[in-house]
Structure 1
């Protein structure tokens, strides 16, 4: 029969356990607290069982009747290695072995407790937590922490448009929160999470995860706000209708746009046709032109190349090993693989392209396309329409693949005919594969033109340094497309090029002349035309005065365009 103290103990223990179970099941806990709760129950249960064994062992092997409360006290002293009371020393082997076992249990529990509970508890105490809700207005809710979303964030920041990132990745959310980025932790398809992001006062909702999650996000967003602008990113063309059915206002397919742009670069290289231009008027176009080996201007400075005098085109900027230089200096040397950003009429740009093309690209073999995903499939479709001879290499055997193998392996490249190929497009879905393949290609055929895609903007420079001639990033294309759909007063005219062209207002420049504003020196980008009263003015003199209602056509890299927005809009 239980004595009074033991009965009170059991009543107290039952109350604690009941309260814990109530909190756990009715209020819920996050993953970390669930781990703490379950581990705590395990330790308590272990101590209670040890108490019963100790009480029984003392009676059977030592000949002493001990209360259960006293037995628990000794167990806790043993497990915590805090010392012992009057029960020691023990005379029986069983009790000595049992006490040793309890000591070892305590040591193991301490070693487990620090990394699993104590350190996380300290980290949680000192680490700032993201807010549970935000009271932003006229903001954009971006559902994804991705490199694609980061480009959109930079564009929004340049226009001082508020935004919030919503994602389920706790570690990534905490990192952004520490960097001062407005974030919420939670599943973006959860209506309560979208309410916490103040969706009813949002400007737009952007779904940029995978197709399934994007559809769920659209459903949740549309259920909460029937008039909200919802933008969704699709990875496969056949998924576009499902995004729209779920409530998306606009659905974009950036991989197809990227594939089309990369294919047009090849058309330019092997046919001398001018593709991928940004047409501003009948008399003004912009384009990127790769200066290839053996071109007659390779090795000359910009001044001595006399590009403007010979062809009538203007150099707006240039990429040297992937680094954009606005208005390069006259003594800047043009090397092979330099990419010039030029402005002029279609005829002028076509003539420049035809007279500077390298004779090395008269190769016998087909164009090699590495990777048959959405990007590679788009390239293949365009090549078939243009009757361009090409060969597809992919790791998987499927319809449309001509050669199955790893494109990073020399033997596979030899079988693909790399020694006779003029161009290879790296449409692979892994940046490391693109980098390694480029390095191999530089050893096997340094004359082949290498055109590549990347999934991370930060890897663009790495692929250039490895030897690529032209690189375009998926995040850049996606971010520009989303931003262009979000903004009504800032239209991006070139979403699928290395350069960015925007039509935008610049009220802070009202009343200033182009010479006094010195925009190129201040921001790194160039005003190539001004739209005034429905007319495009492309012949801009230094004394041209800007008006408040003017729409400026500005050209530069993403970074320099963002500098322009921050300073003048």
Structure 2
């Protein structure tokens, strides 16, 4: 009973509801006047026929005739009375059976239902809400960020301008709130001053408004903005953006760095001080068909193989298992060790790449923990070809923001490329652009599909990307195909279509935000794969890495050890662990959980 008055009170606060109620009231008054007029005329005609009835009877007869009930207990005898009855009957059909229900539904019932819907959609967070993330944006990227934050048990709220959209998302399990993005009061109701971060994932113009408005409500809130255009970066920063990322450019650079072209074999995905984590596809190397023990990469190059990607799944390395062309190695070591690995694999080394040492390095988030590069979800499926590297141009299908970013990365590293684009507005008049449809064989042959070492599929349409991936795989079974995915759910489909590597725009955004939320604690390399810190507890102090059984018991690999003398990358397995040391480990989320349960932080810092 208390809920209904609150709904009506909320409904009546709206100006449109008040206007509708006034219109409905005028219609009811008109209807009452018509019924009263008919009742008076009823008595006049009855007097003409020589009969007398009470006023209550007059209203009774009028309502029964207008509502078409017509009991027949009171009828006129004269033709005048019968004609009057017809008029009352017809007007009753119009007023009571047509206009009254329509008016009631249109001006009261429907607005009241809408008010009920709006009342169900939350507009304010509880006062005790803290350390949550406010997400502004309603596309698949924003929803994916919400799902990933929930997976890591981090509170969040999606800000929606439309109540019905908010309720639909709420039914899907999302945490939502309704409000106007350009109203400072909206952010105050969402406890922005107590939030951990605000993330704006709309267009450049709206993101600018969001950042500027949120700054009015809370000057200190960290604001992360996505930028579509280069010129928008400075504007978003001036509007209040703490971190502004061109995610499309980051995605394009990530696709380019994983291309098997030129002379580089490794792609750096994360860095912590002197520790570098990189990925190296086994495709087109002498490692195919051989085991890690046979090659002894740690002894030859100094790098440590801490894991492998097998068709999108992270696994611990098996020393005696033969490596397949589909395998992607996860390497840990110093920059010099990565250079040694590249030279060992026949390349010229990361530091020898044109443009400086960082050209094959890291872009993206920098925090207390370290640095992460292309943090998007990657499906490391490898390929089936062992053909040698080629100096022929790499094909880029799609000349949008992602494709152009990949092209710029190729240009900086001295790798030739060709962009295939059919939209005249995106075509650049130079030797690197081929105008036409990527689904046209003649266009692809002019671009060099028959000789290209790799092809990048970079359009924003996943359906088209699947189509082009299947087409290119049929044309060139041995070519490396790297594909961009807009929606995470299409990664598996793109893999089945023939893509060797798939990078997700949504996961790139999610991983970037999550890394910013946990500086100094967790560094997410890709979805589910983290580098994290852990002190040497009582269960490990006094033991060597070799005897600790960390990898076998937890699934994590120790990639570095920080002690009094600084950071030691790939420490000697015979090194004795001390309780004042700090381990740097790599593993997926489940392996991290097992390690923290098996070896809790319960040691004092003392020499052993």
Answer yes or no: same fold by TM over 0.5.
yes
Matches within 5 A, 1:295-334: 296-298=286-288, 300=289, 302=291, 306=295, 308=297, 313-322=303-312, 324-329=313-318, 334=323
Separation in structure 2 between the aligned mates of residue 425 and residue 562 of structure 1, nearest angstrom = 36
Separation in structure 2 between the aligned mates of residue 194 and residue 377 of structure 1, nearest angstrom = 36
Paired residues in the alignment total 528
The aligned residue for residue 505 of structure 1 is 533
The 1:478/1:52 distance shift into structure 2, 3 A limit, reads: same
- 567, 574, 597: which one pairs with 1:535? 567
The aligned residue for residue 290 of structure 1 is 281
The 1:212/1:337 distance shift into structure 2, 3 A limit, reads: same
| Bigger Rg, structure 1 or 2 | 2
Contact 1:158–1:565 (Cα < 8 Å) also in 2: no
Separation in structure 2 between the aligned mates of residue 70 and residue 542 of structure 1, nearest angstrom = 103
Separation in structure 2 between the aligned mates of residue 305 and residue 88 of structure 1, nearest angstrom = 110
- The runs of 5 or more residues in structure 1 that have no matched partner are 1-20
- The runs of 5 or more residues in structure 2 that have no matched partner are 1-7, 48-54, 348-381, 602-608
The aligned residue for residue 271 of structure 1 is 262
- 155, 174, 178: which one pairs with 2:167? 174
Contact 1:289–1:339 (Cα < 8 Å) also in 2: yes
The aligned residue for residue 338 of structure 2 is 346
The aligned residue for residue 462 of structure 1 is 493
Contact 1:145–1:172 (Cα < 8 Å) also in 2: no
The aligned residue for residue 13 of structure 2 is 27
Separation in structure 1 between the aligned mates of residue 73 and residue 549 of structure 2, nearest angstrom = 89
Do structure 1's residue 400 and structure 2's residue 428 form an aligned pair?
yes
- 166, 169, 179: which one pairs with 1:186? 179
Contact 1:410–1:440 (Cα < 8 Å) also in 2: no
418-427 vs 346-355, greater mean Cα deviation? 346-355
Separation in structure 2 between the aligned mates of residue 88 and residue 365 of structure 1, nearest angstrom = 100
* TM-score, with length taken from structure 2: 0.70
The 1:413/1:273 distance shift into structure 2, 3 A limit, reads: same
Listed one character per residue, the Cα deviations across residues 255-287 of structure 1 (whole Å, up to 9, x for unaligned) are 222222212222xx1212245225758986432
Do structure 1's residue 389 and structure 2's residue 400 form an aligned pair?
no
**Superposed displacement of residue 553, structure 1:** 2.9
Matches within 5 A, 1:42-441: 45=27, 48=30, 52=34, 73-74=63-64, 77-78=67-68, 105=98, 117=110, 124=117, 129-130=121-122, 132-135=124-127, 136-149=129-142, 153=146, 161-175=154-168, 177-178=170-171, 182-266=175-259, 269-278=260-269, 285-292=276-283, 296-298=286-288, 300=289, 302=291, 306=295, 308=297, 313-322=303-312, 324-329=313-318, 334-344=323-333, 345-351=337-343, 353-354=345-346, 360=387, 362=389, 366-398=393-425, 399-400=427-428, 402-408=433-439, 410=441, 412-441=443-472
The 1:104/1:187 distance shift into structure 2, 3 A limit, reads: same
**Superposed displacement of residue 217, structure 1:** 1.5
Secondary structure, counterpart of 1:232 in structure 2:
strand
**Superposed displacement of residue 469, structure 1:** 1.0
Q: Normalized per residue, which structure has more helix?
A: 1
Listed one character per residue, the Cα deviations across residues 437-485 of structure 1 (whole Å, up to 9, x for unaligned) are 1122222222221112222223222212211111112222222323333
Listed one character per residue, the Cα deviations across residues 282-331 of structure 1 (whole Å, up to 9, x for unaligned) are 98643222232x65554x47468656588565432222222x23204467
Separation in structure 2 between the aligned mates of residue 557 and residue 338 of structure 1, nearest angstrom = 17
* TM-score, with length taken from structure 1: 0.74
Separation in structure 2 between the aligned mates of residue 71 and residue 522 of structure 1, nearest angstrom = 90
Separation in structure 1 between the aligned mates of residue 593 and residue 446 of structure 2, nearest angstrom = 45
After superposition, the CA RMSD in angstroms is: 4.9
